[in-house]
């Protein structure tokens, strides 16, 4: 049984058992719970920690765990309704209201209930993560001289050099800032380049986390449609002219959610159009290390072919390793680099040195390339299994593009289909999907869902998930 599901199941069992104990009553010892439920001591510890966080249990060092007393009457109940007025009031002079809507991101972060197949995940399943290699890297990193000291605010020189080589072209270590993952890097870049109220061009559809960042910063995302070869240059040029925007955010490689790759002939066009508009291109290169086994070498990052400092490059190690290895990079050339650096220092100071040291140990170990090869093979097999299942068993869902990298399929629903109804039916059938609506900053052209094949346990679970989805389609769309 997987560790996460074991913890959740034990927590559910203990939650039901709490009614047997009066408030303040002592629960069985950790050893007794290990023997009764045949789980590890770590699982017991984590389940008790979960119940403690819920306020159901209290733990006393050396004494054990106890049922918590009810909280009713614990203190005066205040009136927080005034916050609704304060939080919704637009500041004087604020051109656009700042809204913080994380719903599109939380879909991929929230763990579904036990027994539900996770087609909505945004990270590799733990079985695909290099857990042993990461543990060994962290252990070695912790023994390095100075590993727990303060790192340079720009990042460790060796790690900056490694990231610079990954980008290629004329990008050097001096052009690189180590960040706390890709989401932080995108936030820093957008804050550096777009003042509140400014228009920002984005691909349509695009990553919901980007739209959440933009709205929280008070900037106005403007959609630029994609086709099977990525963003359309003529529409990009028209959007720059119509809006006066100075920023375009794109994912040229294995775009999320469509999986498309920006065509070779369009790459220089995008850079030329942005340069003529006096604008920056934020390149979110999130999936470069998720190339499938049957794909050829991917095109170089846009930043590698950019002599004029148009591109601000973003990437990270998170997607190909673990959600908790939040080590990423910003690469830029010219005066903009100092602005990026200043914002990062104000926001986060620096990325913790042990995490940077562990990342260095990991990417420098023989296990790194073995892991990349294994992920490439696993993702290819999972993609092929899901594509076959969709095309043979779910013909109502249109699959316009089969990706050669990344970890998801983008499916269009039949005209007039109710996206919300399908999501609800799927969850009742035991499968969690990512809705398509959050990927659009304007009205979507139709209903969509995104299916991830990275967060499931293996091929049999993909087949079973497609079978359950068939039942949900029959219920919601039939």
Instruction: State whether 403 and 283 are in the same domain.
Output: no
For the chain, what is the domain count?
Answer: 3
Q: What is the pLDDT of residue 95?
A: 62
Instruction: State whether 205 and 124 are in the same domain.
Output: no
Mapped onto helix, strand or coil, the DSSP state of residue 406 is coil
Q: In the 3-class helix/strand/coil scheme, how is 35-99 assigned residue by residue?
A: HHHCCCHHHHHHHHHHHHHCCCEEEECCCEEEECCCCCCCCCCCCCCHHHHHHHCCCCCCCCCCC
Q: Which helix (H) or strand (E) holds 241?
A: helix 233-243
Residue ending a domain, among 20, 43, 67, is 67
Instruction: State whether 426 and 359 are in the same domain.
Output: no
Q: What is the pLDDT of residue 30?
A: 86
231-257 per-position pLDDT tens digit: 999 999 999 999 999 999 999 999 999
Q: In the 3-class helix/strand/coil scheme, how is 422-438 assigned residue by residue?
A: HHHHHHHHCEECEECHH
Q: What is the pLDDT of residue 44?
A: 86
Mapped onto helix, strand or coil, the DSSP state of residue 412 is strand
Phi, psi of 150 (to 5 degrees): -80, 125
Instruction: State whether 175 and 279 are in the same domain.
Output: yes
Q: What is the pLDDT of residue 56?
A: 86
> For residue 165, what are its two tokens?
């080589």
Q: Is 319 within a domain?
A: yes
> For residue 226, what are its two tokens?
């994609």
> For residue 373, what are its two tokens?
């090869």
Domain that holds residue 382: 103-128+369-477
Instruction: State whether 160 and 63 are in the same domain.
Output: no
Residue ending a domain, among 364, 379, 407, is 364
Series of mean pLDDT values for 10-residue runs along the chain (478 residues): 65 86 87 87 84 83 80 56 59 61 64 83 92 94 88 93 93 94 93 91 94 90 94 95 95 96 96 93 95 93 92 95 94 91 90 93 95 96 97 95 96 92 92 92 90 94 96 89
Q: Is 472 within a domain?
A: yes
Residue ending a domain, among 329, 364, 399, is 364
The CATH code of the domain that includes 438 is 3.90.1150.10
Instruction: State whether 217 and 313 are in the same domain.
Output: yes
141-198 per-position pLDDT tens digit: 988 888 888 999 999 999 999 999 999 998 999 999 999 999 999 999 999 999 888 9
Q: In what order do the strands lie in the sheet with 176-179?
A: 176-179, 328-331, 311-316, 280-284, 247-250, 199-204, 220-227, 230-231
Q: What is the pLDDT of residue 72?
A: 57
């Amino acid at each position: 049984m997987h560790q996460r599901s074991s913890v959740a199941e034990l927590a559910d069992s203990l939650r039901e058992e709490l009614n047997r104990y009066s408030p303040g009553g002592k629960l069985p010892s950790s050893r007794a719970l290990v023997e009764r439920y045949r789980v590890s001591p770590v699982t017991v510890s984590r389940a008790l920690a979960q119940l403690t966080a819920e306020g159901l249990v209290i733990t006393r060092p050396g004494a054990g765990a106890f049922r918590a007393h009810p909280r009713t009457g614990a203190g005066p109940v205040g009136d927080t309704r005034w916050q609704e007025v304060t939080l919704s009031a637009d500041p004087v002079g604020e051109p656009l209201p700042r809204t913080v809507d994380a719903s599109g991101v939380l879909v991929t972060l929230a763990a579904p209930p036990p027994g539900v197949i996770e087609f909505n995940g945004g990270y590799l399943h733990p079985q695909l993560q290099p857990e042993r290699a990461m543990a060994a890297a962290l252990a070695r990193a912790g023994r390095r001289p100075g590993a727990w000291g303060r790192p340079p605010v720009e990042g460790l020189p060796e790690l900056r050099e490694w990231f610079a080589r990954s980008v290629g072209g004329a990008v050097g270590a001096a052009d690189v800032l180590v960040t706390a993952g890709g989401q932080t890097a995108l936030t820093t870049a957008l804050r550096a380049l777009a003042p509140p109220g400014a228009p920002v061009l984005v691909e349509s559809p695009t990553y919901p986390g980007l739209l959440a960042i933009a709205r929280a910063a008070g900037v106005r995302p403007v959609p630029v449609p994609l086709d099977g070869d990525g963003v359309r240059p003529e529409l990009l040029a028209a959007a720059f002219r119509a809006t006066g925007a100075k920023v375009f955010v794109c994912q040229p490689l294995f775009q999320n959610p469509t999986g498309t790759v920006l065509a070779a002939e369009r790459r220089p066009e995008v850079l030329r159009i942005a340069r003529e508009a006096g604008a920056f291109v934020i390149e979110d290169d999130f999936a470069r290390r998720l190339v499938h086994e049957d794909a050829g070498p991917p095109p170089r990052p846009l930043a590698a072919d950019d002599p004029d400092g148009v591109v601000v490059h973003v990437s990270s190690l998170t997607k190909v390793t673990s959600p908790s290895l939040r080590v990423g990079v910003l690469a830029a050339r010219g005066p903009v680099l100092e602005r990026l650096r200043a914002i990062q220092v104000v926001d986060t100071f620096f990325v913790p040195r042990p995490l940077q040291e562990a990342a260095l140990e990991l990417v420098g170990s023989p296990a790194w390339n073995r892991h990349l090869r294994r992920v490439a093979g696993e993702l290819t097999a999972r993609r092929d299994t899901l594509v076959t299942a969709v095309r043979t068993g779910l013909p109502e869902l249109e699959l316009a593009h089969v990706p050669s990298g990344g970890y998801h399929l983008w499916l269009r629903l039949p005209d007039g289909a109710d996206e919300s109804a399908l999501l609800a039916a799927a969850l009742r059938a035991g499968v969690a999907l990512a809705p398509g609506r959050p990927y659009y900053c304007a009205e979507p052209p139709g209903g969509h869902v995104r299916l991830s094949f990275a967060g499931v346990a293996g091929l049999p679970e993909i087949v079973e998930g497609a079978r359950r989805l068939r039942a949900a389609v029959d219920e919601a769309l039939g």
